[in-house]
Structure 1
Amino acid sequence: MNQRVLQEVALRYFMEVVRAGSVTEAASRLDVAPSAVSRQIGRLERELDTLLFERRARGMTPNAAGELLAAHARRAWLDVERVTDEILALRGLRTGEVRIAATEGFAYEFLPSMVIQFQKKWPGIHFAVDMFVQAEVARRVRDGEVDIGVTVSLSSERGLNVEHRHPSPIMAVMALDHPLASRRLVSLAQVTAYPLALPSKASTLRQLLDISCSRQGLQCDAVITSNHLYPLINYVSECHAVTFCGEAALRRRLVEGRITAVPLRDREMNERHFEVQTLAGRHLPEAVRTFVSFLREQMVEEERLGLRPPAG
C-alpha cells in the first residue's frame, strides 16, 4: 500500500464525497470537474485495494472501509489543528478558535453570555457558534466539524465524550396572568386544557410531548406551530396559550417579567439532560479545553448556589 496517498488530494476529495453523498455535489463544492473527483476516488481504492463506497442510484455511501478511512482523516486533520494551536501557545500567543454547535435554546442567549464572560479573561480566543437540531449537533461533533456540542439529550450518543451532564427538564411557559401561572407544578393533563403553541414535529421536545400525551390519552393539538422557539414564546406572552421549553432559553424574558415557566410533574418531561459534548478520543486544543473547563465550572457553581440549571 502506498501510504502517502492518505495525505494527498485524493483524501480531501474522498472526504468531500463522504460529506456530500455524491461525486457531482462534491465536485461542485470543490469547484472541479466530476471526472477529477472520480479519478481520485478510484486512485484511493486502487492503492488501498478495496472499495470505499456503496454506489447507489441516488448517490454514494461509505462502506465499512470508507467509514474507517473517514475516521482516520478526521482525526488526522483535528490533530494538525491541535498541534498548530499548541505551537502558537508556546510562542505566547493567546489565540485560538472554538467552534460550537448548539441547539436553539442554548445558541441564542446562554452561550453568548458564557462567551462574553470567558473572553473577559481570554480576549484572544475567537468563537463560532452555530445553531442546529439535536441530531445534527451530535453529527457535527462526531465528524469533527465543530469542537463542542451544547445540547440536550435523552440517551448516550455513539462516539461522543460527555464533558458535563445534568438534568434539563421541560417547563410549561405561559403569560403571567395565565390561570396556571401561580402553580408550583403543573401536569400535562392540566396544561392541555388550554390552547397549545408547539414546536414542529421534527423536534425532540415535540416528540416527547406527543409520546407522553399519547400514553396518558391526552389531546395535544396546536393552535400554532413553529420550527423556532421564540415565535412561540412571544405568542404565549400575549394570550392564554402554553408552550414548552427549558429554562436557559427563557432567562432574559423571565427577568423582563413577560412570561413565567412552571415545572411539569410528568415523568417524561424530566428525562432530558443538558450535555457538553466533544469527540471521543480526541486530544482537544488548548482553547477548546479551557472553554470546556470554564463551562463545567460555571455549571457546577450555579448548582452550588441553587440556581436552576440551564435547560435549552
Structure 2
Amino acid sequence: MSSLQDHRIRYFFEAVRLGSVRAAADFLDVAPSAVSRQISQLEHELATSLLERHRRGVRPTESGERVLAYYRQRLAQQELLMDSLQSLRGLHSGSITLAAGEGFIEDLVVPLTSFSLAYPKIELKVNVCGSNEVIRQVVEDEAHIGLVFNPASDPKIRSLAHHPQPVCAIVNPEHPLAIHQASVSLADLDQYRLALPEVSYGIRQIVTQAEHQQGISLAPTLTCNTIAMLRRYALLGGVALLPTFVVADDIRCKELVALSLQNAVFASTQTHLITRLGRQLSIGANRLLNQMLAEMTAFQPH
C-alpha cells in the first residue's frame, strides 16, 4: 500500500476506534467531510466497502476488519523498529502499557517497581478496567500485556500463564453465613444483601453462568464497578462474590471470611496473563512480560 493509502487508513481506523466519523474528525482536528472523503477514497482504491453506518455510529465490514488488522500490525512493526533502535542505546526510552483488573493492583506494585528500578527511562502505563475491556485493549493493541480474571474465550488472545483463582462468598466473621455454614449455595445468597460487580467483570459473567445452570436469578442489592466498594460492603455486613486474592490481607487479619460456593463453576476460575495472538512485543515489553511470568506466583491465592 502507498503512503497515501496508509494516511487514509488512519482516518478509517480512528472512525472505527471512536465509533463515529464525527468523533474521528474531532480527534484528528479536521472536518467530518474530510474523514468521510478519505474513507470513501480508500474504499474506492480497495474496491470494497469498509464501513457499515448505522444510527449509533459506524462499524467495520469483514473487509474493514482485515484492513484494521493490517494497520495495527503496521503500527506494531513501527514500534518494534523504534524499540530496536532504542535498544542500541540501552533501553533509555519507550513506553509499555499494561491493562489489568482492579484486583491485581496490589500484587502488580512489586514487579512494576522492580522493572522501573532496572529501566527507569521506560514509561509504564497501567489501565485499570474490567475483564472485557482488558481483552479489547490487548486485541486492539492499546495494551501490550493484559492481566485478567477468567477472560472469555477469544481466538485473538494468547494466554501465556494462568493460575486457579476460585470465587468465594466474602463476608465478615459475624455474618450468619460465616457462623453457620462452611459452604454456600446460590439459594443461600438470595436471603442476604448481595453485592456484585457490573457485567463487564469476569466475576459477574461466572455468576451469570451459574445462575443459568441452576435456574436461579440473584437480585443484588448493590452493583458497582470497583472491587474496593465490594470489599467495604462485605466488611459492613453484606455478601460479596470475589476471588480470595483480592481480599487476602483482610482474610489473614480475620476481618473477612471466604466461604466456598457449591456450584463447580466458581472453583474453575483462573487468572490469565495475556497478549494478542501474533503480536511481536518490543524488547522492553518482553522483559516486563518475562518478569511477570517469573513472579506469577504473586497472583496465586495467598
Same fold (TM over 0.5): yes
**Aligned length in residues:** 301
After TM superposition, the structure 1 = structure 2 runs for residues 1-312 of structure 1, keeping only pairs within 5 Å, are: 3-7=2-6, 9-106=7-104, 108-153=105-150, 155-181=152-178, 185-188=182-185, 189-213=187-211, 215-216=213-214, 220-239=218-237, 241-299=238-296, 301=297, 309=300
Change (3 A) 1:37 1:164: same
* Separation in 1, partners of 2:194, 2:132: 25
User: Please, what TM-score do these two structures have when normalized by structure 1?
Assistant: 0.86
* Separation in 1, partners of 2:191, 2:31: 59
Query: Counterpart of 2:183 in 1: which secondary structure?
Result: coil
Amino acid at match of 2:94: G
Query: Counterpart of 1:70 in 2: which secondary structure?
Result: helix
* Superposed displacement of residue 266, structure 1: 2.2
Query: Counterpart of 1:222 in 2: which secondary structure?
Result: coil
Identity %: 32
Output one character per residue of 1:153-204: Cα deviation in whole Å (capped at 9) or x when no partner: 2543121111112222112211133344479951325554443222235544
Query: Counterpart of 2:33 in 1: which secondary structure?
Result: helix
Output one character per residue of 1:71-130: Cα deviation in whole Å (capped at 9) or x when no partner: 111111111112211211112234432201112222x32223331233233333321111
Unaligned runs of 5+ in 1: 303-307
- Segment drifting more, 252-261 vs 166-175: 252-261
User: Please, what TM-score do these two structures have when normalized by structure 2?
Assistant: 0.88
Structural RMSD (CA): 2.6
* Superposed displacement of residue 236, structure 1: 1.6
Change (3 A) 1:129 1:3: same
* Separation in 1, partners of 2:84, 2:92: 10
* Separation in 2, partners of 1:217, 1:60: 37
Amino acid at match of 2:300: P
- Segment drifting more, 70-79 vs 242-251: 242-251
* Separation in 1, partners of 2:33, 2:189: 59
* Separation in 2, partners of 1:109, 1:82: 30
Unaligned runs of 5+ in 2: none
Output one character per residue of 1:271-293: Cα deviation in whole Å (capped at 9) or x when no partner: 22211111111110011111111
